[in-house]
């Protein structure tokens, strides 16, 4: 099953022993990536969510909130809804990491 939720959005997620807290990263691909979304559209906005294996309901709640928020066209289209490394707030790391093979660019790690 794909984590491409449609409307140009994908939310790959999982749990890992290697992390001790919930982590998220945003990425954009201007060209889009075939993520086998239900609507058949290429994904342009990606939110990666990784949680410790011990986290249960919180992982699902965060995933649902991200999905609900990004289903709103006004959020996906607004400048405030687009990931932007220049707006990083205190306590976050922000950097551009080009991935040359598919044009995906990680622009913010929370």
pLDDT tens-digit map of 9-20: 999 999 999 988
pTM of the model: 0.72
At residue 1, the pLDDT reads: 65
Which residue is associated with the tokens 């790690």? 109
Cα 92 to Cα 107: distance, rounded to the nearest angstrom: 11
């994908």: which residue's tokens? 10
- For residue 80, what are the domain limits? 4-109
Catalytic annotation, pick one of 13, 30, 59, 101: 13
Distance of CA 2 to the CA centre of its chain: 14
Per-residue pLDDT band for 101 (boundaries 50, 70, 90) equals very low
CATH number at residue 24: 3.40.930.10
Number of domains in the chain: 1
13 among known catalytic residues: yes
Q: SS3 sequence, 13-58? A: EEEECCCCCCEEEEEEEEEEECCCCCCCCCEEEEEEEEEECCCCHH
């Amino acid at each position: 099953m794909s984590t491409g939720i449609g409307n140009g959005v994908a939310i790959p997620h999982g749990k890992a022993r290697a992390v001790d807290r919930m982590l998220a990263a945003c990425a954009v691909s201007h060209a889009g990536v075939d993520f086998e979304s239900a609507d058949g559209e290429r994904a342009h906005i990606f939110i990666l969510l990784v949680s410790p294996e011990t986290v249960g309901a919180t992982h699902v709640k965060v995933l649902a909130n991200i999905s609900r928020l990004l289903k709103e066209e006004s959020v996906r289209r607004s400048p405030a809804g687009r990931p932007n490394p220049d707006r990083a707030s205190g306590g976050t790391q922000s950097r551009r990491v080009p991935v040359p093979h598919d044009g995906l660019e990680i622009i913010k790690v929370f």
